[in-house]
Amino acid sequence: MKNASQKASFLELVWKRKSVRRYLPDPVEREQIYTCIEAARLAPSAENVQPWRFVILDDPVIKNNFAKEVFSGIYSVSKFATKAPVLIVILARPDFVANRLGKQIQGVQYYLIDIGIAGEHIILQAEELGLGTCWIGWFHVRKARKFLKIPSKYKIVSLISMGYYNRKPSRERKRKEMKEILFFNSL
């Protein structure tokens, strides 16, 4: 059983974590990237399928060329990620039983839940290491697939930008009150 100080430190980590859109140009050490991916690798998944795959873009030339493609036109709102030293492309390889049958029977695409858990593990591990991240869903998926030559058996789910960030003074984040989101035994 965990003691109160361990619980508090996790909540502090979660509270401290924010989507970062301003990065220093300093490269992220590969060891730190490995640590973040290890956290994702250990995430739970439906039927232990582990559908996640990660493509790390940390070579500045490759990353910048990729960013020019995927953050153009209507996707330019995500252009801030071009300044991040690392882009993580999150892929899914859905399993027939856990994902396709699950979607038909339960109406749930379990691989998306699995990817969400793994991605959040990356983000929280990065925060613990002093790295900023931002989960990005607004990018040109077809151009990303073409640029990286991703086979059709993989779905490109999202991107995560990562790097050392310039901390701005913390502003209060608006969150719903507990009484608005928590119900015991009935809604």
With 80 as the cut, is the pLDDT of residue 147 above it? yes
Cα(124)–Cα(119) distance, integer angstroms: 9
Residue type, 178: M
* pLDDT tens digits, 115-125: 999 999 999 99
C-beta of residue 57 within 8 angstroms of C-beta of residue 69: no
* pLDDT tens digits, 33-68: 999 999 999 999 988 999 999 999 999 999 999 999
What pLDDT is recorded for position 1? 45
Select from 17, 62, 49, 21 the least CA-distant residue to 36: 17
* pLDDT tens digits, 172-182: 778 899 999 99
Q: What's the topology of domain 18-166?
A: NADH Oxidase (3.40.109)
Can you give the pTM of this predicted structure?
Answer: 0.89
Helix 141-148 to helix 60-70 angle (10° resolution) is 150
Per-domain residue ranges of the chain: 18-166
DSSP 8-state class, residue 96: I
